[in-house]
Amino acid sequence: MSLPPSVTVLGATGSIGVSTLDVLARHPERYRVHALTAHRSRETLLAQCRTHTPALAVLEGEGDAAWLRERLREAGLATEVRCGPEALVEVSEAPEVDVVMAAIVGAAGLLPTLAAVRAGKRVLLANKEALVMSGSLFMEAVERHGATLLPIDSEHNAIYQCLPAEHRGGLSRHGVTQLLLTASGGPFRGWSRQALAGVTPEQACAHPNWSMGRKISVDSATLMNKGLELIEACWLFDAHPSQIQVVVHPQSVIHSMAAYADGSVLAQLGNPDMRTPIAYGLSWPERIDAGVEALDLFRVARLDFEPADESAFPCLRLAREAMEDGGTAPAVLNAANEIAVEAFLDGRLGFAEIGELVSRVREACPFEPANELDGILAADARARREAWAWLGRR
């Protein structure tokens, strides 16, 4: 009798990781947890290890790892604890692992996610930065190593469900004329650029529909998250930026759509709960219970749509321009944004200045070909230096 698939969860203590473990716990006969990783949230990771008894746990620093080893020993658990970037790669490419949930936020998720792809795993991609930074390299690795790539962002998961099973080679080959990427509009939908100047981190992190980490919540508030998703969609679905339209849909019930040459528009609907795309990725091509309440259209009552305001929210435009530039431009955009969001959350940068910092760094870092991982990482590092230098000059 064969064993059920073994799962590594990268970023287990974040919102996606927690939702993934919730879905896995609903189906103990179908899945085994091989490894759980976290940045520094050792207490949460300890609780997860007690519940899910993984073979391995990974933390960033040796001090936190030593603490976790001792707590697990006291609890009588055999989970092995490792630390550092190398350990993240090891638990992603381990031969006994079948599925990798890539849910580490930011550029830190690139190397372990790429390792999982190169090892031919089923990769559930919730780390959009991996594709934003290294799109061509990443997708070539998926093809070369026979990995199965399933998008977990609700928008990309929705589009994946609305497209033909084989959709590579350009959208027009499959009768698709446009991808409609929906956006909630975030907590400041309808605000003017002037009104946005006084936004606080607490306001920016209070998303009206989704429960997310602080960094992603800020990205949603600036619409940079939608810009990064636009870049990711281009790589996932072999699309040009001109074939993707961002549609603000405040109810967050339609997660995205695909328009076809015959006039049809296919949409995927559901309550705004990440367990739905997570369960889809884990069980594809089957369907399993995700623990999500069924959508009640009578309670929703109405569906509204409006264009995105790129004047008040310039990050969306900057992301589209970076994808059109190509090469290392998206990696530079992502790196600059990560520093800008960090500075905003620390009170060193105004909300309306996030886009300005990203724009300045893009101007200071001309894009180059993105054919090698070392070049991409070098562009990322240079953009971060430029971002910190710009902050220092303010």
DSSP string, 253-303: -EEEEEEETTS-EEEEE--S-THHHHHHHHHTTS----SPPPP-HHHH---
Do 6-152 and 159-393 agree at the fold level? no
pTM of the model: 0.93
Question: Which helix (H) or strand (E) is 79 found in, with range?
Answer: none
- Cβ atoms of 191 and 312 closer than 8 Å: yes
State which fold the 6-152 domain adopts. Rossmann fold (3.40.50)
Give the strands of the sheet with 254-260, arranged side by side: 265-269, 254-260, 176-183, 244-248, 306-307
What does the pLDDT read at residue 272?
A: 94
Tell the residue number behind the tokens 């699309």, with chain if given: 239
Retrieve residue 306's tokens.
């409006």
- State yes or no: cis peptide before 285, omega within 30 of 0: yes
pLDDT at 139 over 90: yes
Mean pLDDT for 215-231 is 95
Distances (CA, A) of 281 to 28, 84, 100, 118: 16, 27, 10, 19
First to last CA, the chain: 64
User: Within 13 Å and on the Cβ side, how many CA atoms surround 84?
Assistant: 4
- Tell me which CATH code domain 159-393 carries: 1.10.1740.10
- Cβ atoms of 106 and 384 closer than 8 Å: no
pLDDT at 345 over 80: yes
pLDDT at 1 over 70: no
Query: Minimal CA–CA distance to 104: which of 74, 135, 59, 73?
Result: 59
202: left (phi over 0), alpha (psi -120 to 50) or beta: alpha
**104-136: pLDDT as tens digits:** 988 889 999 999 999 999 999 999 889 999 999
What does the pLDDT read at residue 211?
A: 67
Which residues contact residue 53 at a Cβ distance below 8 angstroms, ignoring those fewer than 6 apart? 33, 77, 78, 79
Mean pLDDT for 263-280 is 97
Reduce the DSSP state of residue 100 to 3 states and report it. Answer: strand
* Angle CA 168–380–196, to nearest 5: 90
For all residues of the chain together, what is the average pLDDT? Answer: 95
**20-46: pLDDT as tens digits:** 999 999 999 999 999 999 999 999 999
Mean pLDDT for 352-369 is 96
Mean pLDDT for 382-391 is 97
Query: Minimal CA–CA distance to 344: which of 335, 333, 355?
Result: 355
pLDDT at 210 over 80: no
pLDDT at 166 over 90: no
Query: Minimal CA–CA distance to 232: which of 138, 146, 310, 354?
Result: 138
Q: For the chain, which residues make up each domain, given as ranges?
A: 6-152, 159-393
Query: Minimal CA–CA distance to 237: which of 185, 277, 178?
Result: 178
Secondary structure in 3-state letters for 312-370: CCCHHHHHHHHHHHCCCHHHHHHHHHHHHHHHHHCCCCCHHHHHHHHHHHHHHCCCCCC
How is residue 40 annotated by DSSP? Answer: S
- Cβ atoms of 124 and 152 closer than 8 Å: yes
**361-380: pLDDT as tens digits:** 999 999 999 989 999 999 99
Mean pLDDT for 67-84 is 97
At residue 393 the predicted structure's pLDDT band, cuts being 50, 70 and 90, is confident
Mean pLDDT for 224-243 is 96
At residue 184 the predicted structure's pLDDT band, cuts being 50, 70 and 90, is very high
**286-295: pLDDT as tens digits:** 999 999 999 9
